[in-house]
Structure 1
């Protein structure tokens, strides 16, 4: 057998299980297609202020950041974005990474290691899962509905340090983590709570400041927040927000920060502009949740707590076929299959946008009503 012949067998198995994936390039203009698949929650990806800021940053600074942030990749724009993000969510400091993925990899590894216990929610994003695997810490996975297990693990640990990691809004189903209860356990047992607000910023909290801010946990010395700039802030990149001592530590030891090229100027400029739009138009956050509730009514789902509406169909091929049928009729929805979700829970994932129109909602109702009638038979 040739060295890589096993790849053919693995691909065949994925096809048989209905979890094979293909790339589907989109054009810059998709007339007649309503987007319910992207994470552009606030509808800012093509906002003129955001596009103009990205173009201005390229003209001023060039196409690339030219190096890691420790060498040549930190511009005045990067420092401004750090400060503006921290001020927006009520954190003492912020540090921007090249992606939300690398932000999670960097902060988890930097704050753990041998002699640390990490408790990770079973539905944590893949970036947190991978960060835990790379941390060399002892890992325990918990279910968010079983806080007693979290308390027991923290109380009986032998490690000096402990870190509890979770999404604030879980990406597949849009449910909220019990952050207030988790923080109380962390405080009681001298642990740190790390919250990924990727799907919370721009959607939850006062003016979209996130679930941590909404619950009054912002700026606490034992709470650290990560977020991506690629969803509500319509750009690219990630950020760690927390005490100044954490920022200083990351600059010294976080490998994804030290060895990765800094975020491109265009992405920094776009994120700053999107943040400015959200700050002056805080009603966009509430509009996302209103549209999400309307989508949920259309598909017969419970009223969501975030921008995500999940329609579980179970079988991966059924979910894929339903998503393809919806797209052919002008509505682009997400299709989540294993390993993105557990076996038997393949689903359509609808993401609301603040700028969905009433006419678009009428079309969505007609298309998805028909598609789901067939898929649920």
Structure 2
């Protein structure tokens, strides 16, 4: 058979506990969801603020669909750039406190567009080893020299920055690391970039909407601003909809319109999504109780878990990883949770380092304290029985 070698590789993945399977969601996102005909208490969504099924977002999308239709029909530079896209970009710039913002279809495409437009063969890019795959793939496509530094090891980063003779230097980092739940100390990174004349690209996919008093993300969290920062955030997680944006100086976004291939050569997102996102921004800013509830849930989970063999990672964010270690044991625990009506995903290599397979618990403002208490009790019981 032509593809028999693929079947062999799939079998190897299955044996190693690394084969992934899709499951069928039959309900909106929420604290409780229906998957393959069964209801689960869900701790596996990035819908951190519980906005993915909010009536105000649904109404905005429906109204926009009635007026502007469903599809954009073309790329932004042909005829697909709607007034709703423009209004959202203006709102995102104001929301983040940055001069300009540019919409992208996804965070993956935004990172590809940023890095390949700003760096090339004569340049060097420095990246945290735990960065998201989209940043790593972007560096490879840019053809710049790719230098990775150990996770949050700024002494190593400074040594490599000082030794570089590249024409341009870029430092890339997740702002909130999606698998560990820890936050990059951006002020220290910015100081390094200023000292060594490098741009700092921040991927705030998991911080936008969650961090900061008004949910404006990592920059508000630390109270910093700099023209040296290229800010990217996604709109399908805490914002509850879909898409991504890049924000920074006007010259940056204007340049990306001219040079970011993942922006130029793709159809614009449906305008109705921009309408829903404009409604989402208002809720993110005004409803601080959603972030307050997240903090309460985080505290409740960390106090409720009494693990002895498994390890709860040090995180103050809605991402609460429990390290189990072995792939098969992690899958077994995830399946045992499913049998009890709780959905927590098993995360395995290559997404995380070998030997650090984990349960990735994602909390949402849609959860109640009783939901978190139930999860903690079941996990404590499963570990005791293991």
Hey, what's the Cα distance between the residues in 1 that align with 2:88 and 2:301?
33
Match of 2:11 in 1: 12
3-state SS of 2:79 partner = coil
Aligned equivalents of 2:265, 2:73: Cα separation in 1: 13
- Equivalence for 2:104: 97
| Equivalences for residues 234-253 of structure 1 within 5 A | 234-253=240-259
Partner deviation per Cα, 1:287-315 (whole Å, 9 max, x = no partner): 22321222223334356221100001111
Q: Is the 8 A contact 2:300 2:369 kept in 1?
A: no
Q: How big is the shift at 1:249?
A: 0.4
Aligned to 2:368: 357
Per-residue CA shift, 1:77-131, capped at 9, x if unaligned?
1011111111111111100101111011101111111111100100000111111
Secondary structure of the 2:147 match is strand
Partner residue, 1:320: 331
Aligned twin of 2:172:
165
Q: Which residue of 1 aligns with 2:381?
A: 370
The whole-number CA distance in structure 2 between the counterparts of 1:38 and 1:24 is 13
In 2: Cα distance, 1:6 partner to 1:164 partner: 39
Q: How far apart in 1 are the matches of 2:59 and 2:211?
A: 27
Q: 1:144 maps to which residue?
A: 151
In structure 2, the partner of 1:53 is 60
Name the residue aligned to 1:27: 26
User: Could you tell me the TM-score, scaled by structure 1's length?
Assistant: 0.95
Unaligned runs of 5+ in 2: 28-32, 307-311
**CA deviations over 1:180-237 (Å, ceiling 9, x no partner):** 111101001110000000011111112211122221223x110011111000000110
Q: CA deviation at 1:266?
A: 2.7
The one of 231, 249, 260 aligned to 1:254 = 260
Aligned residue in 2 for 1:330? 341
Runs of 4+ in 1 over 6 A off after TM superposition: none
User: Aligned in 2, Cα 1:345/1:317: closer, same or farther, shift over 3 Å?
Assistant: same
Pair 367,253 (structure 1): closer, same or farther in 2 beyond 3 Å: same
Residues of 2 paired with 1:305 and 1:46: CA distance? 25
Residues 90 and 213, structure 1, Cα contact 8 Å, conserved in 2:
no
| 1:1-377 alignment runs, 5 A limit | 2-28=1-27, 30=34, 32-218=39-225, 220-300=226-306, 301=312, 304-374=315-385, 377=386
CA distance in 2, matches of 1:156, 1:5: 47
Answer with 23-32 or 160-169: which moved more.
23-32
Q: State TM-score, norm by structure 2.
A: 0.93
- 8 A contact 1:308–1:350 mirrored in 2: yes
Q: How many residues align?
A: 373
Counterparts of 1:268 and 1:372 in 2: how far apart (Å)? Answer: 44
Report how far residue 363 of structure 1 moved. Answer: 2.6
CA contact under 8 A between 1:293 and 1:303: conserved in structure 2?
A: no
